[in-house]
Amino acid sequence: MTQPEWWRDAVVYQIYPRSFADLDGNTIGDLAGITSRVPYLAKLGVDAVWLSPFYPSALADGGYDVDDYRDVDPAIGTLAEFDELTAALHAAGIGVIVDIVPNHSSNRHAWFQEALASPKGSPARERYIFRDGVGPDCAPPSDWTGAFGGSAWEPVGDGQYYYHMFAPEQPDWNWDDPDVRAEFIKTLRFWADRGVDGFRIDVAAALAKDFSANPLPSAAELAALPAGPDHPLFDRDELDGIYAEWRAVFNEYDPPRFAVGEVWLEDKRRLARYATGESLGQAFNFDLLRADFRAADFRDIVTTNLDIAGIAGSSSTWVLSNHDVVRHASRYGLPLTTPGAPFVGQGPTWDRDRKWLLTGGTDPAQDVGLGLRRAKAATAFILALPGSTYLYQGEELGLREVADLPASARQDPSFFRNPGFEVGRDGCRVPLPWTACGPSFGFGPAGAHLPQPAWFAAYAVSVEDADRDSTLNWYRAALKLRKELLAAVGPFEWVDSPADTLHFRRGKWQCFTNFADDPVALPAGEVLLASSPVDGAVPGATTVWLG
């Protein structure tokens, strides 16, 4: 990408490589498969792709357990194929963002293996977080649970435990250790030198930790502590130093490399510091992943996040789906939650997902038509906002969650570590349907690593490509029009509108969303785009762009 600020209003398309397209027929998507689909991405009109991890991994957590940060998993491709993909994307004018996973490595990483083979107190163990067991029974150093369930401490057999915020196969790095810092600088340069345009930083608020308290706080005490300088795990001040070093590396390149932090914080004001020009530059705003399709909630989220982006001198991000949550076409097909219902947080699936789980995954109350209708309305709404939009592979086809995967097919650690309680995230990671028939709907010649449902046939790219009114063609039209409209955009302003609707303008470009079920009057102006057919009035669950 040649423009330094390209990322500010970019549409970024997230690819989960193992589920995108499989060229070599090993049932796992690969880099060559993505390269073969660059024309599809170009026609869709995205500005950049973000590749979820493609590094060597035993897949204890879908690739977020990295064995080697500077290589490609042989099941997915080679470094040469990575270069080919980057070249093909760049030739199509599409930027490349890779995922950096700096909070933890995999337990197969050479340095973790070295740590296990080294004695207590050795420099090799210093790179991770090892602690002695406590008391006569050599109990874990605290009663903390990992994000996927179970203890956050794993014994290594010599009286010590290591800490893992996620699965036991994901030991946390010790960011106080200079080797660790230097290693990641090397990794950032490695990919930047290969031509990547930016980085998505996994668990960006958790790298700096303080385990000096003795005893460590209990799980209950930890839960009561707000993230921030006094929390041992999240959002500590020392992160500023880490990201300032990274920023210096990003700025060695022309244009400077871009970074977006995966930052989940309850206190939104703390988000701004990750998004400044001295730090990562942008921070994810995940609020819409936890919001129902309701005007008041959307309005609050927009106002807060535009403010935060302004404070940071950055741009906001807008996200409705990713590889960690139930697809929004399904979330929106469920009955609305009670307004103001408290957020229920537990594990990697959250309150909306919990609602899904309560239904057993195949809830007859899911209204498929309404879900997609609202999904498109919400997409048009966010595409009109100032900032950058992150799309997740398959949402452009209108895919909903595959909720009824058999237990035997599931791969997500959150499913295995929470029996009977969490179904996990596999339902949004099922390989894409490219054709209506043929093995694995055109995903690859030898089947798919997660089973695809029969209903995928109707959502296949080939089917939607040929249908003028498909979700895919609507996304293409929306992205094209957005680009044109952005060329002459004015300041963002809310416009007064009836209850349960939102209306804003950016100069001549207006966006109006009817969140209710019943139609409302169409505001004045020429209709440029509509998420559902508009005929004199704006039907329920519909967004229109007017000019």
Binding site for ligand NOJ (CB under 6 A): 61-62, 64, 101, 166, 202-203, 262, 323-324
- Which lies closer to ligand NOJ via its Cβ, residue 292 or residue 324? 324
Residue with smallest beta-carbon separation from ligand NOJ: 64
> Cα(first)–Cα(last) distance of the chain, in Å?
30
- Which lies closer to ligand NOJ via its Cβ, residue 206 or residue 472? 206
Q: Is 395 among the residues known to form the active site?
A: no
d(CA 487, CA 202): 32
Decide: 160 and 131 in contact? Cβ < 8 Å: yes
Decide: 104 and 65 in contact? Cβ < 8 Å: yes
d(CA 473, CA 111): 48
Decide: 96 and 89 in contact? Cβ < 8 Å: yes
Decide: 286 and 364 in contact? Cβ < 8 Å: no
Q: Considering 5, 252, 266, 404, which one is annotated as catalytic?
A: 252
CB of 149 to ligand NOJ, least distance (A): 13
- Which lies closer to ligand NOJ via its Cβ, residue 109 or residue 503? 109
DSSP output for 229-255: TT-SSSS-TTHHHHHHHHHHHHTTSSS
Q: Which long-range contacts (CB under 8 A, 24 or more apart) does 531-540 make?
A: 531/373, 531/376, 531/377, 531/379, 531/380, 531/474, 532/373, 532/376, 532/377, 538/501, 538/512, 538/514, 539/514, 540/373, 540/514, 540/516
The residue to which tokens 């207590």 are assigned: 120
Rg (CA), the chain: 23
CB of 71 to ligand NOJ, least distance (A): 18
CB of 398 to ligand NOJ, least distance (A): 23
CB of 215 to ligand NOJ, least distance (A): 27
Q: Considering 202, 235, 262, 287, which one is annotated as catalytic?
A: 202
CB of 543 to ligand NOJ, least distance (A): 28
- Which lies closer to ligand NOJ via its Cβ, residue 396 or residue 412? 412
Find out whether the peptide bond into 342 is cis, omega within 30 degrees of 0: no
CB of 77 to ligand NOJ, least distance (A): 20
Q: If DSSP codes are grouped into helix, strand and coil, which group holds residue 286?
A: coil
- Which lies closer to ligand NOJ via its Cβ, residue 61 or residue 67? 61
Q: If DSSP codes are grouped into helix, strand and coil, which group holds residue 180?
A: helix
CB of 28 to ligand NOJ, least distance (A): 17
Nearest CA to 200 among 292, 63, 351?
A: 63
Q: Is 5 among the residues known to form the active site?
A: no
Q: If DSSP codes are grouped into helix, strand and coil, which group holds residue 7?
A: helix
- Which lies closer to ligand NOJ via its Cβ, residue 242 or residue 520? 242
The DSSP bridge pattern shows strands 198-201 and 258-261 to be parallel
Q: Could you give the residue ranges of the DSSP H alpha helices within 128-274?
A: 178-193, 219-224, 239-250
- Which lies closer to ligand NOJ via its Cβ, residue 188 or residue 325? 325
Decide: 266 and 226 in contact? Cβ < 8 Å: yes
Decide: 323 and 411 in contact? Cβ < 8 Å: no
CB of 487 to ligand NOJ, least distance (A): 33
Displacement of CA 77 from its chain's centroid (Å): 23
- Which lies closer to ligand NOJ via its Cβ, residue 58 or residue 495? 58
**DSSP state, 397?**
G
**Active site members:** 202, 252
